[in-house]
Amino acid sequence: MMVFILNVNPDSQSIAYIDQVMENFTNVYNLPFKRELRFVVHELVINAIEAMEKIEPYSKKAIQVHVYRSNEEIKITVIDEAKGIAENDWDKVLQFDLNELDYSDRGRGLFFVKNMVDHIWFENISETKFLVGISKKIHI
């Protein structure tokens, strides 16, 4: 079993740092789905940073990335302090409608993430803390 937790500032340097950590982690442990796992974490961290940039007043609270790997699966959660997605919108954010395609690059990340993992979930931890989690079966 392997567990690590990263607490990072909501900024672009943190994206690069987490990308590098995940690249090293997936290579050292020779995990299947390396590119997919790195993409998923990258997208979740960007979403958390963008959410935190919108809160008033802007705060420098940390984003937490928690990675758990067993022989059977990998679980990753990203927690931000930007209040998250309203519970009645959880299903909607996982959909992607080609008829509403506006060619902006926004709003598709969670749809792609959902299709690269076995399970995705959301959780309101507190009034301000919001968790997005994913799990992917691995057979080592």
What is the pLDDT, as a whole number, of residue 110?
82
Contact (CB, 8 A) for 125 and 79: yes
pLDDT, average across residues 2-20:
95
pLDDT at 37 over 70: yes
pLDDT digits (tens, 9 = 90+) for 68-100: 999 999 999 999 998 888 888 877 777 766 555
Residue 115 confidence (pLDDT): 86
Q: Is 138 exposed, middle or buried (0-12, 13-18, 19+ CB in 10 A)?
A: middle
pTM beyond 0.75, yes or no: yes
pLDDT above 70 (res 104): no
Collect all residues with Cβ–Cβ distance below 8 Å to 53 and sequence separation of at least 6: 10
What is the percentage of the chain residues whose pLDDT exceeds 70?
86
Dist CA 44 CA 50 (whole Å): 10
Interatomic CA distance for residues 44 and 133, integer angstroms: 9
User: 132 with 47: CB under 8 angstroms?
Assistant: yes
Q: Which pLDDT does position 59 carry in this prediction?
A: 63
Residue 107: pLDDT above 70?
A: no
Identify each DSSP E strand in 1-140 by its residue range: 2-8, 63-69, 73-80, 119-124, 130-137
pLDDT of residue 92: 79
Predicted confidence band at 57 (pLDDT cuts at 50, 70, 90)?
Answer: low
- The CA distance from 100 to 104, in Å, is 11
